[in-house]
Structure formats: structure tokens, C-alpha cells
Amino acid sequence: MKVLTLNFLTCAVKACKTTNNSFPLHPKDAELVHDEIEINRDLLVNVLPRIDWTALRTTSTELGFPTLPEQPPTAEDLQQDEKMLKELHALLLETQMMEGKLVCGHCGHEYAVREGIANFLLPSHLV
Amino acid sequence: MSRPEDTLAADVHYDDTEARKYTTSSRIQNIQASMTQRALELLDLKFPSLILDVGCGSGLSGEILSQVPPEEGGPHVWVGMDISASMLDVALQRDVEGDLLLADIGQGVPFRPGTFDAAISISAIQWLCNAESSETSPAGRLSRFFNGLYSSLKRGGRAVCQFYPKNDVQKQMITSAAVKAGFGAGLLEDDPETKNVKLYLVLTVGGNATGSKDIADVVDGMDGVDVLDNRKKGEKGGKGEIKKGSKAWIIKKKEQMERKGKIVKATSKFTGRKRRVQF
Ligand SMILES: C[S@@+](CC[C@H](N)C(=O)[O-])C[C@H]1O[C@@H](n2cnc3c(N)ncnc32)[C@H](O)[C@@H]1O
Ligand SMILES: [Zn+2]
């Protein structure tokens, strides 16, 4: 599960749909791997405006990475600043959560992650 | 053809044996690949996008998304949802590039609003017509799915769902659930009335933001689509005495549809194919 995906996943429990605390989910006991993949600049430029930067800073800190700058890079930065592009790529697309749990900050539900696959199946009373 | 959808839950049908059998069949690989290509063509993505693959299975559809070359606007990054752990296991063994979620789309789509540029679903959503337990109804599951899908797509985004309805009732049930969720919807049929008939539900997320498109404009840019918009725009077509199926009948029907605000278009490289306009 890429950090990119963690920036979009929310708690699936019905009661959590309307609160802000159900995003981002908080990684717990996370085992990470770094999986090298080719840089896709146009993809990053495309998704950048949709990244919740505050949530990304939270996730990144919770995963044990150095604190991200307060402000997100701009599309221009990504076009011009090769280093910044690489760092963002490494964090969002190359860093994968393989094992652990994703915990909802509102209801406390824990979604297990095994071999990189998050289990979002819910018992029917939570749907 | 046998329909496991009618008797089994998807995660029961797609067990380890079936998942392997399904994925290693070169016949199935080819069919899924060509339907995914068709869906991509209908999505008409201009740059590398974030795509949801609904009912991604072992990744036969998703891997096509990863393989789109830069000249054609790719490669795309995808996230797949599937209810069958066995199918996802095969996806892992095949080392697909997309992220995978073990999830039941009948329970919703757990992404924040506006996450995806687009979504595809290849041969999966007919499974929603069968309730998996006594606590849920097909209508409830379809509505949770389409509402979730609608919200997870960005404004101006599109989804293309190829599916195998058991009959017209299922086709109608699925289409109307999509429209109720707010989608602009059209149905496209390739090779109608043959045993290879393929049905695509083309969905658009409108919105008032600049750059968003009405379904009419969207369809305008698509190749070979006979799309029916489910919105009604006033007057009903008059009764015809012309023989059903004749050229005059078709022309008349097309006029009627245009008057209703529906879109009638059929010129492209797929024009040679037999195709049927649906009501
Ligand atoms: C025919 S396979 C298609 C898989 C893949 N899209 C492809 O083209 O090869 C249908 C898939 O839909 C999945 N499916 C059925 N019902 C589902 C549900 N409620 N939620 C998620 N996936 C479901 C099945 O587990 C199966 O993997
Ligand atoms: Zn929650």
C-alpha cells in the first residue's frame, strides 16, 4: 500500500462518514519497504492538487520520516526542482506499507494490512 | 453459459482454484484485456491518472492501466478493490503495480471525495445484483456502491463499467442505481445480438466547476458510442406506424431520441461492428 493511497483512504464505517477525524487513517506497527519505480512526473503534477498536505505531513511523521515542509511544492517546483520531484516520488509512490494496521481516529476501527493489502471488509452492523 | 453470480457469493466462487484457473486462461486474459482497452478508450484520459479498478480480481484489467505508454497518456496508477482474497493473492503473486484493497464494493468506496480521475470495472458489478446476506438487499448494495463511487471521483471524472447482466431487469436495476447516485449515464453495446455481446455503462460526474462537462459534450468526443442519457428533456416522441427495425424506423427513433435530449452518434473505427441502440 503506497503512501499515496494512504492520503486518500478513509474509514469505511458508516458513522465515520461525516466526521473529519476519520481521515487520515493512522498507521500502527507499520512495516515499510522501499520499492523502486520509475518517476512519473506528469502523474505527480496531476495528483498534487488533490494531496491533502496536512494529512501527508501527519502520515509521514507517524511513519517515522523527517517532518515535511509546511507548504506543499507547486506544480512549477515539480517541473524545475529535480530533487524535490524525486523526494515526493520516493515518499508517495515508492514507500509501501506491507504489514501493520490502519487505525481510525474517530471510531478506533483497525484495518489490518497484510502483504500490502488492506482489509476493508466490515461486519454488516458497521456498514 | 453458466452464471456463478446466480448461485454463489463472489468470494466463495473465486476460491484459490478458481482464481488460478481464471487468471491463467489465455482466453480470459485476452477478453479482459480487450474490454479494458475499450474502457480506456471510452475514458479518453489525456495524462497519467489515478484510477480505481472496481472488482480488480487478479489484476488482468489493472495491469493494462499500468502499461499505457506516455504517448497515449499513461502510465496510470491504480488502486483495486476486490472481495476475493484468493483473487488478490494471485494478483500479489503476479506482482501487479496497483495497490490492493480487500473490500466489498456493496459496502461502499472508502476514499475521500474527489480522489480518482477515473474508474473502471470489468466484469464485476453484476455480482451486486445478488445480496450476499439476509441483512442486505441488492438495491441497498447497488446504491451504496454507486453513491460511494460518485463521491470518490473528481468532478468531471468518468467511470466505465463493463458488466454481464442476467437479463433486462438487472440491466435496468444497475443503470437506474447509477443515475440515482447522480451520474450522467449511457449504455454502449458492442457486438449486440451475438454471443460476444459486451455492455458498457459509461458514467460521468457532472458538477459546476469550470472544465466539467455535460454528458452530451463528453459523448461528443467519444468514438462509436450510442449513448442514452437518462435525463428527460420534455416532449415525448410521437407514435410510429413504421416497421420496427427498418431504416425509416431507426431514423425516426434517432430523431425522437435527439428531441428528448439523448445522444445519437455512431461513427468511428468501431462503426463496422453490429450495434444496437437501446431504450
Ligand atoms: C470476472 S472477475 C474480473 C476481475 C478483473 N476485473 C478482470 O478483468 O480480470 C470479477 C471480480 O469481481 C469481484 N467481485 C464480485 N463481487 C464483488 C464485491 N461485492 N466487491 C468487490 N469485488 C467483487 C470478484 O471477486 C472477482 O474478482
Ligand atoms: Zn471510523
Helix (H, G, I), strand (E, B) or coil at A65: coil
CA of B123 to the centre of ligand 1 (A): 7
DSSP B115: -
CA-based nearest distance A12→chain B, Å: 5
pLDDT in tens, A35-70: 999 999 999 999 999 999 999 999 999 999 999 999
Helix or strand run (H / E) with residue B68 = none
Show Cβ contacts of residue A41 under 8 Å, excluding neighbours closer than 6 positions.
A78, A79, A85
Tell the residue nearest (CA) to atom 1 of ligand 1: B123
Helix axes B16-24, B26-43, angle to 10 degrees: 70
0.95 exceeded by pTM: no
- Residue A32 buriedness (CB in 10 A; 0-12 / 13-18 / 19+): middle
- Residue B47 buriedness (CB in 10 A; 0-12 / 13-18 / 19+): middle
Torsion of CA B158, B163, B165, B166, to 10 degrees: -170
Suggest the residue from B89, B115, B133 to mutate for an interface test with chain A (most A CBs closer than 10 A): B115
Helix or strand run (H / E) with residue B118 = strand B116-122
Contact predicate B91/B59, CB 8 Å: yes
Helix (H, G, I), strand (E, B) or coil at A111: strand
Q: Domain count of chain A? A: 1
| For residue B151, pLDDT beyond 80 | yes
Tell the residue nearest (CA) to atom 4 of ligand 1: B57
**Which atom number of ligand 1 is nearest to the Cα of residue B61?**
8
pLDDT in tens, B207-218: 544 443 444 444
pLDDT in tens, A4-40: 999 999 999 999 998 999 999 999 999 999 999 999 9
Contact predicate B119/B52, CB 8 Å: yes
Given this model, what pLDDT does residue B135 score?
77
To test the pocket of ligand 1, the residue of B36, B83, B122, B129 to mutate (highest count of ligand atoms within 8 Å of its CB) is B83
Contact A117 B88 (CB under 8 A): yes
Structural domain of A103 = 3-126
Distances B244 to B60, B262, B273 between C-alpha atoms, Å: 40, 20, 20
CATH, residue A109: 2.20.25.10
Given this model, what pLDDT does residue A40 score?
97
pLDDT in tens, B216-227: 444 544 554 545
Interface of A with B (CB under 8 A): 1-2, 4-5, 8-12, 23, 37, 40, 42-43, 46-47, 50, 52, 93, 115-122, 124, 127
Contact A8 B112 (CB under 8 A): yes
Q: Which cell is A86 given?
A: 524525486
Q: How many CA atoms lie within 13 A of B169 on its CB side?
A: 5
Given this model, what pLDDT does residue A42 score?
97
Contact A46 B92 (CB under 8 A): no
